[in-house]
Amino acid sequence: MIRRVSSAACLCAAVVLAGPGLHAQSKAAPRVAAPAAPAPAQVPASGPVQVRASVDRTAIWPGDRVTYGIDIVCAKGVEILLDDLAKEKLRVNGLDIVGSDTTTTVDADEQTTYRLRYLLTTYRVDTPSLSIEPISARYYQRRPGQRLQDIAPAGEVPIPGAVIAFRSTLPDLPVYDLRDDRAAAPRHPVASRAGSIGTALIVISLAPAVFVAVAFVRRRTRKTGRRSARQARIDQRTTLERLRSLDVTTEDDRRRAYDEISTAVRQHVASTSGVPAPSLTAAEVDAALEQAGGRVSRESVSSLLAACDEARYGPPQALPSPQACRDALATAEQVLSGR
């Protein structure tokens, strides 16, 4: 018991004696509180707009895909100008923008969340560092009854970029010349003539096939034959009778008449001059007739086909009158008759 009392007394005496020294030490070197860790730049802690930007991978190989995502949370009544976040305005270094996607959701508290995703890739091997530059987006406060074009931006929110490491298995080797300055060795005479010999052998091997094809074409031509003069006159007479019987009273009748005129004249030009008129425009038919010559009146055919195309493909108000349509029918009869 005596030992315990003496030990407690000694301990109290030591505390009393050391008390002033401890108090002086606390005054001389006050304790400094540790600084708080800074919040991430991409996640603002407060404000009407909160932004978070991230990438799904921090390093890529050539040809890999990386997704750069931006999540923007707007308070009630606040909206972001999405045009500022278009993929055309995203500035990248060493990367190619493959595509983008945007989704918008509204929760129960009427907070709007914009989720933007940009798909990036690279096919280059000479860029040691790939990066996405920071951008900014404007936001505005919408009020009831206020039109969108009358709202001025309330501010801008910065969106951080990202740096992506580049990985490649290509070694960093010096560049060597693929060819030297020495002249090429002369070839053997047989090797120099190998091209001509090969061409001659190919021609000899194709000769039987050419003879067979020519015989087949002759047999086919002989079997089908060309139209006789009597059949051509019958077809021409039939076409003229069909054109004379056309009614041009209504607009549909006149447009149908111009279709008949264009078809008949083009077929007549093709059969008499050898010009593929059904597949050519009026200007091309004029140029082809000028080179081919023949007994077809080039000026009459060209003007008639141009008038037909204008009536067939022009606006309704450009459709010619019934008298003009009858004049076109008369001109077509002259062309088909060879006058």
Q: Which positions ≥6 away from 92 have C-beta within 8 Å? A: 120, 130, 131, 132, 133
Angle, helices 251-273/282-292, rounded to nearest 10 degrees:
20
Contacts of 177 (CB under 8 A, 6+ apart): none
Structure-model confidence comparison of residues 274 and 59, the more confident one = 59
Predicted pLDDT of residue 126 = 77
Per-residue model confidence (pLDDT) at position 114? 94
| pLDDT more than 70, % of the chain | 74
| Predicted local distance difference test score (pLDDT) of residue 195 | 84
What pLDDT does 168 receive? Answer: 60
Say how many C-beta atoms besides its own lie within 10 A of residue 125's C-beta: 12
Rounded to whole angstroms, what are the CA distances from 333 to 265, 300, 329?
9, 11, 6
pLDDT at 73: 94
Tokens at residue 47, please? 């404000």
For residue 68, what pLDDT is reported?
95
Most confident listed range (126-140, 148-162, 228-242): 126-140
The 3-class secondary structure across the chain, one letter per residue, is: CHHHHHHHHHHHHHHHHHHHHHHHHHHHCCCCCCCCCCCCCCCCCCCCEEEEEEECCCEECCCCEEEEEEEEEECCCEEECHHHHCHHHCCEECCEEEEEEEEEEECCCCCEEEEEEEEEECCCCCCCEEEECCEEEEEEECCCCCCHHHCCCCEEEEECCEEEEECCCCCCCCCCCCCCCCCCCCCCHHHHCHHHHHHHHHHHHHHHHHHHHHHHHHHHHHHHCCCCHHHHHHHHHHHHHHHHCCCCCCHHHHHHHHHHHHHHHHHHHHHHHCCCHHHCCHHHHHHHHHHHCCCCCHHHHHHHHHHHHHHHHCCHHHCCCHHHHHHHHHHHHHHHHCC
pLDDT tens digit string along 28-78? Answer: 333 333 333 333 344 444 578 999 999 998 888 888 999 999 999 999 888
pLDDT of residue 16: 36
Q: What mean pLDDT, rounded, does the chain reach?
A: 76
Q: Is the pLDDT of residue 334 over 50?
A: yes
pLDDT-derived band of residue 238, with 50, 70 and 90 as boundaries?
confident
Under CATH, which architecture does the 49-166 domain have? Sandwich (2.60)
| Confidence at residue 120, expressed as pLDDT on a 0 to 100 scale | 93
Q: Yes or no: say if 329 and 261 are a contact pair by the CB < 8 Å rule.
A: yes
For residues 196-214, give the mean pLDDT: 87
Q: 285 and 270 in contact (C-beta within 8 Å)?
A: no
